[in-house]
Amino acid sequence: MLFVPKPEINLFAGWRYLLDRGYRKETKELWQSEPAWVVAVQMTAGACSVLFPLIIFGLLAFVYISRQV
C-alpha cells in the first residue's frame, strides 16, 4: 500500500479526553495499535481543541476587562 489512510480527527476529542474516563481508556488502548505519527497528530489536534477556545475566551475576557477600566 503506497498511501497510509487518513487518521480520524475529532475536533472535540481534547475536551472529551480530559472529562470522560471511559473515552480516555478506549483512546489509550486504540493508540497501542496505531503508528506513533498518528498518535502525535491526534494528540496535537486534541491539545489544539482545548487550547484554541481557552485562548479565544481569554482574549475576549481581556478586551472586556480592559474596556471596563
The pLDDT profile of the chain, 69 residues, written as one tens digit per residue, is: 567 677 666 777 789 899 999 999 999 999 999 889 888 988 998 899 899 999 999 999 999 999 987
* Residue in the block written with cell 471596563: 68
3-class secondary-structure state, position 10: coil
45 and 7 Cβ atoms separated by less than 8 Å: no
Q: What is the rounded distance in angstroms from the CA atom of residue 31 to the CA atom of residue 42?
A: 10
pTM of the model: 0.72
Task: Name the helix (H) or strand (E) containing 48.
Answer: helix 36-68
